[in-house]
Amino acid sequence: MGDLGNAYARLIPSKDTKVIVHCRTGHQASQTFFVLRNLLGYSNVLWYDGGWSEWAARPDLPLEHTR
Protein backbone atom coordinates (compact mmCIF):
# COMPACT_ATOMS: atom_id res chain seq x y z
CA MET A 1 0.00 0.00 0.00
CA GLY A 2 2.89 2.39 0.59
CA ASP A 3 3.43 5.24 3.01
CA LEU A 4 0.58 7.41 1.70
CA GLY A 5 -1.89 4.54 1.75
CA ASN A 6 -0.88 3.61 5.28
CA ALA A 7 -1.24 7.21 6.45
CA TYR A 8 -4.80 7.46 5.07
CA ALA A 9 -5.68 4.02 6.46
CA ARG A 10 -4.88 5.33 9.96
CA LEU A 11 -7.22 8.32 9.44
CA ILE A 12 -10.14 6.74 7.56
CA PRO A 13 -11.79 3.67 9.16
CA SER A 14 -12.61 1.82 5.91
CA LYS A 15 -12.56 2.28 2.13
CA ASP A 16 -16.37 2.73 2.27
CA THR A 17 -16.33 5.57 4.84
CA LYS A 18 -17.83 8.82 3.55
CA VAL A 19 -15.03 11.36 3.12
CA ILE A 20 -15.56 14.96 2.02
CA VAL A 21 -12.41 16.74 0.90
CA HIS A 22 -12.14 20.52 0.78
CA CYS A 23 -9.59 23.29 1.03
CA ARG A 24 -9.57 27.08 0.78
CA THR A 25 -10.29 27.32 -2.97
CA GLY A 26 -10.95 23.74 -4.08
CA HIS A 27 -7.73 23.24 -6.03
CA GLN A 28 -5.67 21.28 -3.50
CA ALA A 29 -8.69 19.19 -2.55
CA SER A 30 -8.92 17.97 -6.14
CA GLN A 31 -5.55 16.25 -5.72
CA THR A 32 -6.65 14.56 -2.51
CA PHE A 33 -9.90 13.47 -4.19
CA PHE A 34 -7.95 11.95 -7.08
CA VAL A 35 -5.52 10.11 -4.81
CA LEU A 36 -8.22 8.70 -2.53
CA ARG A 37 -10.58 7.63 -5.35
CA ASN A 38 -8.29 6.62 -8.16
CA LEU A 39 -5.06 5.54 -6.52
CA LEU A 40 -6.07 4.24 -3.09
CA GLY A 41 -9.54 2.86 -3.91
CA TYR A 42 -11.77 4.74 -1.47
CA SER A 43 -15.31 4.43 -2.84
CA ASN A 44 -17.29 7.14 -1.03
CA VAL A 45 -15.19 10.27 -1.55
CA LEU A 46 -16.86 13.61 -2.24
CA TRP A 47 -15.16 16.85 -3.23
CA TYR A 48 -16.49 20.29 -2.31
CA ASP A 49 -14.97 22.18 -5.23
CA GLY A 50 -16.08 25.63 -4.09
CA GLY A 51 -13.82 25.49 -1.09
CA TRP A 52 -13.84 27.48 2.10
CA SER A 53 -13.69 30.81 0.26
CA GLU A 54 -17.04 30.17 -1.40
CA TRP A 55 -18.71 28.68 1.69
CA ALA A 56 -17.64 31.48 4.04
CA ALA A 57 -18.84 34.17 1.63
CA ARG A 58 -22.43 32.92 1.90
CA PRO A 59 -24.23 34.11 5.03
CA ASP A 60 -26.98 31.50 4.53
CA LEU A 61 -24.58 28.57 5.13
CA PRO A 62 -23.74 27.37 8.65
CA LEU A 63 -20.44 28.11 10.36
CA GLU A 64 -19.13 26.87 13.66
CA HIS A 65 -16.60 28.95 15.53
CA THR A 66 -14.14 27.15 17.78
CA ARG A 67 -11.29 28.34 19.91
pTM (two decimals)? 0.77
3-state secondary structure of 16: coil
pLDDT, tens digit, 9 for 90 and up, residues 1-10: 689 999 999 9
Residue 37 above 80 pLDDT? yes
**What is the C-alpha R_g of the chain?**
14
CA-to-CA distance for 19 and 9, rounded, in angstroms? Answer: 12
Higher pLDDT, 63 or 41: 41
Asked if residue 45 lies in contact with residue 35, where contact means CB atoms within 8 angstroms, the answer is no
Q: Which of 8, 12, 15, 23 is catalytic?
A: 23
Q: How far is CA 11 from CA 6, 53, 60, in A?
A: 9, 25, 31
23 is catalytic: yes
Helix (H) or strand (E) holding 3: helix 2-11
